């Protein structure tokens, strides 16, 4: 029996994770969303079963001040994250980059940006071009 490649393992994860329930609620804009923890919980066990782990790395970030429509100072953080999947069996790796932006009046703008970057997903145009 031949060993699975990392791409095959990730494809198996994709086929096993169907729909992730949107349990988060943005009350201000009135929409539901899948939280980062819901997404992580849905894939963590399957990745582990396939001996695959993902390691995030922030490669750059910036923070700028912004005055909101109420005259209050907020901070907007932009992060560039590199995510690398590691195959524990073969040693193969696959990396991709995600960009996230977060806004907060306190100290959470960077964390919000990191969460946004983790939610990066490929749309149909990615598959059409590769």
Do the domain assignments include residue 1?
no
pLDDT recorded at residue 121? 53
Q: How confident is the chain (130 residues) per 10-residue block, as mean pLDDT? A: 80 88 88 84 91 95 95 96 95 94 94 86 40
Domain count, the chain: 1
Question: Which residues, at least 6 apart from 85, have a Cβ–Cβ distance to it below 8 Å?
Answer: 6, 10, 52, 53, 54, 93, 94, 95
Residue 123's pLDDT is 38
Q: Which pLDDT score is estimated for 2?
A: 53
Q: Within a domain: residue 98?
A: yes
43 occurs within a structural domain: yes
We report the CATH number of the domain holding residue 24 as 3.30.390
10 part of a folded domain: yes
Is 49 within a domain? yes
- Helices 109-118 & 36-49 angle (0-180, nearest 10): 50
pLDDT at residue 125, rounded to an integer: 36
In a domain, residue 62? The reply is yes
- Residue 125 to residue 63: CA distance in whole angstroms: 30
16 within 8 A of 45, measured Cβ to Cβ: no
Which residues form the domain of 77?
A: 6-129
102 is a domain residue: yes
């Amino acid at each position: 029996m031949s060993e699975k490649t990392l791409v095959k393992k990730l494809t198996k994860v994709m086929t096993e994770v169907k729909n992730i329930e949107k349990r988060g609620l943005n009350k201000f804009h009135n929409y539901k969303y899948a939280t980062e923890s819901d997404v992580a919980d849905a894939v963590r066990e399957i990745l582990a079963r396939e001996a695959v782990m993902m390691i995030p790395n922030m490669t750059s970030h910036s923070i700028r001040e912004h005055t909101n429509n109420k005259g209050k100072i907020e901070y907007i953080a932009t992060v560039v994250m590199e995510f690398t999947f590691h195959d524990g069996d073969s040693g193969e790796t696959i990396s991709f980059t995600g960009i996230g932006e977060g806004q907060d009046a306190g100290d959470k703008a960077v964390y919000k940006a990191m969460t946004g970057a983790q939610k990066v997903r490929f749309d149909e145009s990615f598959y059409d071009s590769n």
